[in-house]
Structure 1
């Protein structure tokens, strides 16, 4: 397996086949000396105006693939992007690098729109970002025709497929581009797409003999952990403490959950805020702006938050509940470590999450008359996600296998399994027998909460009214924490050793496997996380090697100051990876910044001297 350093910098050699024109553009705007795997092929398809489908993991450099060709060719291309926040971030970052780009979206007034259209007509921009709905309006289509646009890039292209995890009906209409502009090339980009989804993207967009470029789905810099959900608020807070002062996202299923978790974190002294679609637009924007400006460290959100986030220095992504698909999980965890530095991804899992998702899917399908096959596809995606969470194997290998990729290596060194952080519970079979026996004693008529009440010896009115304090299993596991007991019950459900009915009042039922366990004919393995002190992993240690951490913090402070002066998010100024390189090499003359990845000509001119002065002052 590649070392951390090889994985992060070895990609530079991939640019060896790039033309001088491409390399000149890379150096001028981004301060890059080479390209990552597949970027060269994707850029070549853009320059040759050959249709393409490019699948690269988040942080793999997809945007560079559609940014370079128009700069080399001296033309204007259109980028279809789903969210205003994402467009604004990308345009801010490009302009900061001296790259001419603009966006047209609903957050602009008519005067601003006319100014951009005038600039486009004069050929001032290489890229124009637009949402799919606006792209297909007669006014914009006429503008595109007048500009003689010859290439369209479609970001988040998986949104066009109903077999993917984030289907958006408005994306389907993008097929009209081939009809309206038959000589233009179309380039589809996505981070997560199974083979079925990739085929659907090609078909729906009507791509003509496309170059299909599928990169590795593995993110070697991400550390994956799956933990049983016990006291989820406390578990989240403990994880966040490992990343004090760093950017983190916590994902949850419902709006109510996000608000409750955010309140808890704030009470624990964490700079956190909630974000969900039910909030007023101004309040959502304020939360997003505060996160971008590093005024808060943690956003607790539903999946409404994320696709529009281009922040490169997110060091932790937490799932307070199971995502509804591996594609969603890959995309959401992919928002961590986009700068190539190590980041932690923790999933707190309970089988109750699966049941909750199924109920939500069925209710939504009924309300919106969703076709049966689409509902069934959604349930299958959920089942694949459940399997990922419960099958104990290398997480990197499991994700790679799902997307049809063979993982190279025997141990990733970056997941709970390969780090040996998961262990079996002592006397698992005996514990399981006691739980199953209790379900039998209450005549398979009650749900998880009541069974746990009986096992833990709860002195509730309901237990006494039903006479269940007289059962032989009453209080038989009173020394086991209640939340651990609940988790054990759900582990048995997951393993198929216990069933839970659907509906508003689900009950626990025994099956043939349950009786096999109770009769001693089948062994059971229950799992728990090992008790261990928090420490940096080998990969995290490697990323800090030779870095002056105090200087790094000083450079972060300077970055915030420059960002505030320019009214842009801090992370578009310089990536953490660039700051760590600066804090390691410690250049003391401006000219030396030309050899630092991420320092293009404009940034050296605009604030190179301030960066060098910060380094000198620190010494």
Structure 2
């Protein structure tokens, strides 16, 4: 059977595995039960796609969204792999083609949605087609309290038992608690071979900003990245519509996406996003796991996400190709109040609400961090990291101050008003602002009235927001959102602990420079030309542009400028099938001239057999009229030379069986010399 490294190069176009992939591929291929936690963009899909090609039988892939399945099937077919999906979105012809491939024994990967497992006929169908491996994508969906719970994922453990085949589960988003749920529900509590390969996405620039005219902040961020594909996540459906309209009015190509849209309208936006360069989708989290586009250059949050896991997964949709990508998350006091209320007013049991508050606290801690955000984020997932140099806090370290006294004054105001008021009224008390509400309640007679006059109202808003971020105060849903003190604040109030705050984070920082260009100025025109060719080929084939080649592959082409098909085959992401299909087109863009190779030689491009073919061809030309140059001309066909180069016979007898007696007599010794020195 063909080895993993050979398939990796010939099918997927990669010279080497990414960190962690090889050991996972080995375990899955060997039939081990596997749980792999890998960062988005770390190459999860290859860890079950490659073993599927190395194992007998069919690998069934359970994946949560139709769009995700269709994209992966398209990419596999483009690489020459027999794959198919049985989904409710299939046409009759597509479904028939899948069944025909299964009946013929050609299909290696079958994608199905978890909902299909609810049908009684599903198990019999999977038994009949000879399933030898189950791969579960987005395995965190099995977590009942997670942000992407899918009830039908709970059936997968039963399926594994019924088919009695190994199961490999993959996800990029799983804290320790979620990992325990995956093991319990998919593997019956029997620990699989587990791989935890880091959560770091070093190509992502991380940034947070306190809300200060949030629409302008998003428009400014998008303007600095005009022409690049991006996603803006919003907390409400209405905001997606208004923000998408604002982006269009400022010259961007933008579309809204949310759960209230008709299914066909959502599918149209998904299809456009996959195919169009530079489209911005303004979406609720409904635009989620189906996003498989590798060249998204930025993700912005117009509102605070629900948890640190949700944040990590949503920003992870940027830069899956490994090229630089940007993120920005806006947050404010209203976001914190909303997220607290959603937890407190939910139906979850008390212990789950406590866990959800802890997750939100982790995200707020990241938002209000004073030092490297990446180190803070990775610390949450149990990893250690030093300053990254690729986040806003490393770019511009914030000014901090000892906020202990200010926090104690704010807490005093909260307690002296019996925890019945929100930040606006409390700031009026602290700044000594006489309002009708202050007079009516005689709060101007409180000892705390006016004790914070040395701090501006703007700065007090930042202090209250940071207090909520540090979970010192929380909005009380039973008191219409009035702020109440938490146990965490008592040591500060009693003078037992101090707290450091950032200096008025509502003051707009110096705007970060526009993102670094993907290539040098010298290579930029060629990259644009390569993208134009990619777009034309993708439109003609009616597939997303990245199915042809992703951005990273085009960047490498622009920088290295291959001149031959052999050199083109060395580009990351250019496998044998894509080289055969697209090699000439892209070489023509780079050199202005397509490669002229015999079709038999073209199929060997980029492999050792290609180099052998060239050497054999040279030897043949020297001997076409024999050793003395006076014999009758004799030669081998191109396809025959290709067979010799591919099979590499090691004896005169083996070579004679390929060439026949006459050709073996003339070329045999010289050909064997070439083959013997090939290693």
Tell me the TM-score normalised to structure 2 length.
Answer: 0.78
* C-alpha deviation, 1:98, in angstroms: 1.5
Verify: 1:559 aligned to 2:529, yes or no.
no
Question: 559-568 or 412-421: which moved more?
Answer: 412-421
Maintained 8 Å contact 2:340/2:475:
no
Verify: 1:424 aligned to 2:408, yes or no.
no
- Mark the CA change 1:479 to 1:38 in structure 2 (over 3 Å): closer, same or farther: closer
Verify: 1:612 aligned to 2:593, yes or no.
no
RMSD of aligned alpha carbons: 3.5
Secondary structure of the equivalent of 1:596? coil
Deviations 1:301-347 (A, max 9, x none): 11111200100011111122222222211111111110011111212
Verify: 1:585 aligned to 2:566, yes or no.
no
Verify: 1:415 aligned to 2:391, yes or no.
yes
Larger radius of gyration: 2
Deviations 1:547-603 (A, max 9, x none): 612221222222211111111111222111111111111123333210101111222
Deviations 1:144-185 (A, max 9, x none): 111221101000011112354322221111111132112x11
Q: Which residue of 1 aligns with 2:617?
A: none
- Mark the CA change 1:493 to 1:268 in structure 2 (over 3 Å): closer, same or farther: same
Q: Which residue of 2 aligns with 1:394?
A: 372
Q: Which residue of 1 aligns with 2:183?
A: 202
Q: Which residue of 2 aligns with 1:83?
A: 65
Maintained 8 Å contact 2:361/2:470:
no
Maintained 8 Å contact 1:175/1:205:
yes
> Alignment partner for residue 341 of structure 2, among 350, 356, 359?
359
Q: Which residue of 2 aligns with 1:190?
A: 171
Unaligned regions of 5+ residues in structure 2, if any?
594-679
- Mark the CA change 1:41 to 1:430 in structure 2 (over 3 Å): closer, same or farther: closer
Maintained 8 Å contact 1:547/1:581:
no
Write the distance in 1 (CA, Å) between the matches of 2:513 and 2:536: 31
Q: Structure 2 matches for 1:114-133, cutoff 5 A?
A: 114-133=96-115
Q: Structure 2 matches for 1:398-547, cutoff 5 A?
A: 398-407=376-385, 410-424=386-400, 445-450=420-425, 486-495=461-470, 500-503=475-478, 505-508=480-483, 525-527=501-503, 528=505, 531-535=509-513, 540=516, 544=519
* C-alpha deviation, 1:273, in angstroms: 1.7
Tell me the TM-score normalised to structure 1 length.
Answer: 0.85
> Alignment partner for residue 130 of structure 2, among 148, 160, 169?
148
Q: Which residue of 2 aligns with 1:11?
A: none
Q: Which residue of 1 aligns with 2:22?
A: 40
Q: Which residue of 2 aligns with 1:9?
A: none
Question: 243-252 or 374-383: which moved more?
Answer: 374-383
Question: 551-560 or 354-363: which moved more?
Answer: 354-363
- Mark the CA change 1:441 to 1:503 in structure 2 (over 3 Å): closer, same or farther: closer
Maintained 8 Å contact 2:83/2:109:
yes
Write the distance in 2 (CA, Å) between the matches of 1:470 and 1:263: 49
Write the distance in 2 (CA, Å) between the matches of 1:480 and 1:371: 38
Write the distance in 2 (CA, Å) between the matches of 1:516 and 1:379: 21
Q: Which residue of 2 aligns with 1:603?
A: 578
Write the distance in 2 (CA, Å) between the matches of 1:440 and 1:297: 50
Verify: 1:241 aligned to 2:217, yes or no.
no
Deviations 1:498-524 (A, max 9, x none): 5543346323467996998899x9676
Q: Structure 2 matches for 1:45-444, cutoff 5 A?
A: 45-182=27-164, 184-206=165-187, 210-294=192-276, 297-365=279-347, 370-407=348-385, 410-424=386-400
Secondary structure of the equivalent of 1:274? strand
Q: How many residues align?
A: 587
Question: 86-95 or 284-293: which moved more?
Answer: 284-293
Write the distance in 2 (CA, Å) between the matches of 1:510 and 1:470: 22
Maintained 8 Å contact 1:441/1:473:
no
Write the distance in 1 (CA, Å) between the matches of 2:16 and 2:500: 52
Unaligned regions of 5+ residues in structure 1, if any?
1-18
* C-alpha deviation, 1:418, in angstroms: 2.3
Write the distance in 1 (CA, Å) between the matches of 2:193 and 2:571: 33
Write the distance in 2 (CA, Å) between the matches of 1:124 and 1:502: 59
Write the distance in 2 (CA, Å) between the matches of 1:294 and 1:545: 24
Write the distance in 2 (CA, Å) between the matches of 1:235 and 1:485: 21
